[in-house]
């Protein structure tokens, strides 16, 4: 891309971001026209989040250039990015419920002199912006009294009143009702009419076609195409552009699956989940596949008792209580998505971490048997091939793959009958992935029931016997894995296409 013109809101020229062993964004170049809704799509891991982080100053590019209205854009923080004309709305709201609407609108933009706030026209300006975007919101109302959609509008108004010419919206409808989505779309169209450019990121392809002017597809960190949505031949073409390659599938039918139901979940519902029902059989590996906000983690946390829910969960025909303590006692273990903060005591050693989910196994007559702790640690280090110089090594000093193996060791030591694996190979290298897949298969072959909650389609297709497809908190379809499984159909379902399956 040789010309950098102020006729474009944004230009990316050869943008790349490298980490050791991986190029998350690979030589990406495209332009975003002014006063348009420009949609950014791609599978999980396509590079969208990394790209946004570079635009907003959260990450520094390894190479390449960013131009905003023809000017070089090199922010080192989100604040600098806003000053350069780019503001971002993330899925998680950043409003303060204890403050009023107008206090939230001006938060962080107050004028100061000698350390004191000084009077300015800021309040008048932000109120005028809010009124132009959504006149029904009272500037003096406490933010705690607003709906999720109205809180999002506060964030949009704050971004617009900060002078941002480009507003990036990352999955903005994930927590909204259908009526609130319609209201948000109206706000976005009004922004476009008032000379603001919106970069819209969503896995919900129907939203892309309803709202967008142009679309950019990323795949494996690379730019695939940028074109007007009027020239895209529906969902099928967009899905084909997002996949662009055969999905590797190494699944081999397993003979250890029985008809004996280990887990029966019925009507699980909460803030995200909507009447989710499923079963898992002895010796079976089931997969829960969906994109961002589909409800994978929420199902795992509900079954483990970490999140509140209505509905019922039974293990081997007995009702399971609504707390992690009761779930562990019943025979359920969870390998959480965030292994460092939720799966490990990183300040403790491998030896000290492994027994924590079943300490009674280490005790007799009220005395803790340290020798048994050493034996257990040595057994699991050998069994799971944990690379370490000592069982007394602190887990914070292990690689990501070996940390994950320690979390697995904890769950195996608990003697659980059902193992819940939330993104079990996220952030681990290819070699560790292969070893973890072997651990999962061996567990199922020994008669354990395993549930894999993953945003990696290849992972689910490679090891799972049955697959539940999720979208917007609903199990939309159940599939038996096998050589004839339709990848395009799966992506159509998890991006909102087709009708929800009857449960």
Are 106 and 100 contacting, i.e. CB atoms less than 8 angstroms apart?
no
The rounded distance, in Å, linking the Cα atoms of 51 and 25 is 7
Predicted confidence at residue 430, as pLDDT, reads 58
The rounded distance, in Å, linking the Cα atoms of 198 and 33 is 10
Tokens representing 88 are 């971002």
Q: How many CB atoms lie within 10 A of CB 167?
A: 23
Q: Indicate the DSSP class of residue 365.
A: T
What is the per-residue burial (b if ≥16 Cβ within 10 Å, else e) of 5-32?
eeebbbbbbebbbeeeeebbbbebebbb
**Residue 224 pLDDT class (50, 70, 90 cuts):** very high
The rounded distance, in Å, linking the Cα atoms of 345 and 396 is 8
DSSP string spanning 297-342? Answer: HHHHHHHTTSS--EEEEEETTEEPPSSHHHHHHHTEEEE-S-IIII
**Residue 2 pLDDT class (50, 70, 90 cuts):** very low
Top pLDDT among 361 and 118 is at 361
> Which of 142-156, 179-193, 351-365 is predicted with the least confidence, judged by mean pLDDT?
351-365
Structural domains of the chain in order of their starting residue, each with its CATH number: 8-243 (3.40.50.300), 246-331+416-503 (3.40.50.300), 346-415 (no CATH)
**Residue 502 pLDDT class (50, 70, 90 cuts):** very low
Longest dimension (CA), the chain: 78
The backbone torsions φ and ψ at residue 418, rounded to the nearest 5 degrees and listed phi first, read -125, 125
Q: What is the pLDDT of residues 71-102, one digit of tens each?
A: 999 999 988 998 899 988 876 677 888 888 88
The rounded distance, in Å, linking the Cα atoms of 438 and 457 is 18
Q: What is the pLDDT of residues 285-338, one digit of tens each?
A: 999 998 877 899 999 999 999 999 999 999 999 999 889 889 988 989 888 877
Please list, in sequence order, all residues whose beta carbon lies within 8 angstroms of the beta carbon of residue 128, skipping any fewer than 6 positions away.
none
The rounded distance, in Å, linking the Cα atoms of 491 and 501 is 15
Are 77 and 53 contacting, i.e. CB atoms less than 8 angstroms apart?
no
Please list, in sequence order, all residues whose beta carbon lies within 8 angstroms of the beta carbon of residue 451, skipping any fewer than 6 positions away.
263, 280, 285, 286, 287, 288, 300, 303, 418, 419, 420, 421
Indicate whether 278 pLDDT > 70: yes
Please list, in sequence order, all residues whose beta carbon lies within 8 angstroms of the beta carbon of residue 43, skipping any fewer than 6 positions away.
219, 242, 243, 457, 491
SS3 of residue 227 by DSSP? strand
Tokens representing 246 are 């055969």
Are 286 and 308 contacting, i.e. CB atoms less than 8 angstroms apart?
no
- The H or E element that residue 403 is part of is helix 400-413
Where does residue 181 rank: exposed (0-12), middle (13-18), buried (19+ CB within 10 A)? Answer: middle
Are 51 and 226 contacting, i.e. CB atoms less than 8 angstroms apart?
no
Tokens representing 315 are 């293990």
- Do β-strands 63-68 and 276-281 pair in parallel, antiparallel, or remain unpaired? unpaired
Predicted confidence at residue 302, as pLDDT, reads 94
The rounded distance, in Å, linking the Cα atoms of 399 and 404 is 9
SS3 of residue 385 by DSSP? coil
Mean pLDDT to the nearest integer, 424-434: 69
Helix ranges (H only) for 162-216 are: 178-193, 205-211
User: ∠415-421-422 over CA atoms, to 5°?
Assistant: 145
β-bridge partners, 286: 451, 466
The rounded distance, in Å, linking the Cα atoms of 289 and 456 is 8
Q: What is the pLDDT of residues 244-265, one digit of tens each?
A: 765 556 778 888 788 899 999 9
């Amino acid at each position: 891309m040789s010309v950098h013109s102020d006729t474009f809101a944004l230009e990316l020229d050869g943008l790349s971001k490298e980490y050791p062993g991986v190029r998350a964004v690979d030589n990406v170049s495209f332009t975003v026209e002014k006063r348009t809704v420009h949609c950014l799509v791609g599978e999980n891991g396509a590079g969208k989040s990394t790209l946004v982080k570079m635009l907003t100053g959260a990450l520094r590019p390894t190479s390449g250039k960013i131009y905003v209205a023809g000017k070089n854009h090199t922010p080192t923080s989100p604040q600098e990015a806003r000053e350069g004309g780019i503001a971002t709305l993330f899925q998680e709201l950043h409003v303060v419920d204890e403050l009023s609407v107008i206090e939230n609108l001006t938060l962080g933009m107050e004028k100061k002199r000698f350390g004191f706030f000084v009077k300015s026209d800021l309040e008048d300006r932000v109120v005028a912006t809010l009124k132009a975007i959504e006149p029904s919101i009272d500037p003096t109302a406490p933010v705690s009294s607003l709906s999720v959609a109205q809180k999002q509008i506060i964030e949009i108004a704050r971004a617009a009143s900060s002078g941002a010419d480009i507003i990036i919206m990352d999955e903005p409808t994930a927590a909204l009702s259908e009526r609130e989505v319609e209201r948000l779309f109206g706000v976005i169209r009004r922004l476009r009419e008032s000379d603001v450019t919106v970069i819209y990121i969503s896995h919900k392809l129907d939203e892309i076609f309803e709202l967008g002017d142009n679309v950019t597809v990323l795949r494996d960190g690379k730019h695939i195409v940028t074109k007007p949505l009027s020239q895209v031949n529906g969902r099928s073409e967009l899905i084909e552009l997002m996949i662009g390659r055969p999905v590797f599938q190494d699944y081999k039918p397993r003979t250890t699956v029985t008809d004996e139901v280990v887990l029966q979940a019925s009507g699980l519902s909460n803030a995200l989940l909507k009447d989710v029902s499923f079963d898992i059989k002895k010796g079976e590996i089931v997969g829960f596949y969906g994109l961002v906000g589909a409800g994978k983690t929420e199902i795992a946390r509900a079954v483990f008792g970490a999140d509140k829910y209505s509905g019922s969960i039974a293990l081997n025909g007995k009702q399971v209580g609504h707390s992690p303590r009761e779930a562990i006692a019943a025979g359920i273990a969870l390998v959480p998505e965030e292994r460092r903060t939720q799966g490990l005591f990183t300040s403790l050693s491998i030896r000290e971490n492994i027994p924590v989910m079943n300490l009674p196994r280490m005790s007799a007559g009220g005395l803790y048997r340290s020798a048994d702790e050493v034996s257990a640690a040595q057994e699991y280090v050998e069994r799971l091939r944990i690379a370490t110089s000592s069982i007394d090594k602190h887990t914070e000093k292990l690689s990501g793959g070996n940390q994950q193996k320690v979390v697995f060791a904890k769950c195996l030591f608990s003697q659980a009958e059902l193992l819940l694996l939330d993104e079990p190979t996220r952030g681990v290298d290819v070699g560790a992935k292969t070893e973890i897949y072997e651990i999962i298969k061996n567990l199922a072959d020994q008669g354990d029931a395993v549930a894999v909650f993953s945003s990696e389609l290849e992972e689910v297709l490679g090891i799972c016997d049955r697959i539940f497809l999720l979208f917007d908190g609903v199990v939309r379809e159940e599939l038996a894995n096998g050589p004839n499984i339709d990848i395009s159909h799966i992506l159509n379902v998890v991006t909102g296409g087709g009708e929800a399956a009857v449960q």
